Amino acid sequence: MIKVVKIGGNIVDNPLKLDKFLQDFASVGGGKVLIHGGGKIATAISKSLGIETQMINGRRVTDLETLKVVTMVYAGGVNKSIVNKLNSLDCRCVGLSGADGDLIVSNKRSQEPIDYGYVGDPKSVNVELLTLLSSNGYTIVIAPITSSGDGELLNTNADTVAQTIAVAMAAGDEAVELVYCFEKQGVLMDVEDDDSVIAQVDGESFEKLKLDGVIVDGMLPKLENAFKAIDSGVGRVVICSAENISREDYGGTTITK
């Protein structure tokens, strides 16, 4: 069993919460891949540099200056800090971006209907590299910067990277679980009420929750990717609290067809 885990939200930029998550993650047995964001850190650094952050439908618009910042933050500071911590917890790690070894090659997103700038949509995964590292006992920590294949770096949604990695690995003989971890307990009926967890979301209820305005902003791409994963052979997809990564049932919200 391979666990593909995406950590984001208010965990990565909170040292205490991230430290606790990494301790729990290190204790989880079996093959593991960790995909991280770092958007809040990138936003803070962009602001300090006088670079405006623009978001559309929960996704970052990446101009050339923003691309430099997110590459520095995601593939640099955040990735290496996570790898260093996990190694100190006896969880042998290799930190990569999608550009390393052509791990993830992406198409630059079309400017129509919305110009997101230097943003990529994954088209291929170097599964051989993932398998080589995983089969030799390494946990793989991936930053969501991908390659265009012709020398251009592209910012890529971390939820999408997690889904893409999970689907690619599920195409082999391994059973794969995809777990989206963040600061909330799961998908909530009321974002202000942590006890309003929706235990299960299928395609029909997802459409209704969108129409009712329950699922908005950053939760939209997360759930869209969750459904792509479950429809493409990933055995289990869960959205849960980072505090529950070492629980067998994860709690939270299970995605079903």
pLDDT tens per residue across span 114-160: 899 999 999 999 999 999 999 999 999 999 999 999 999 999 999 99
| 112 compared with 154, residue with greater pLDDT | 154
pLDDT at 82 over 70: yes
Closest CA to 33 of 173, 169, 146, 148: 169
| Whether 256 contacts 230, CB under 8 Å | yes
- 111, with CB counted inside 10 A (0-12, 13-18, 19+), is exposed
Taken in order of first residue, the domains within the chain and their CATH numbers are 2-255 (3.40.1160.10)
pTM, two decimals, is 0.94
Query: What pLDDT is attached to residue 58?
Result: 67
Mean of the per-residue pLDDT values for the chain? 94
How much is the pLDDT for 217? 79
User: Each residue of 188-244: pLDDT tens digit?
Assistant: 999 889 899 999 999 999 999 999 999 887 788 889 999 999 999 999 999 999 999
* E-strand stretches of 68-157: 93-97, 104-108, 120-125, 139-143, 145-147, 153-155
Sheet of 145-147, strands arranged across:
120-125, 104-108, 145-147, 153-155
Give me the DSSP letters along 27-47.
H--SEEEEEE--HHHHHHHHH
Q: What is the pLDDT of residue 191?
A: 87
- The whole-number pLDDT of residue 251 equals 92
CB atoms within 10 A of CB 208: 11
Rounded distance, CA 55 to CA 170, Å? Answer: 31
Q: What is the CA radius of gyration of the chain?
A: 17
CA distance 177 to 4: 6
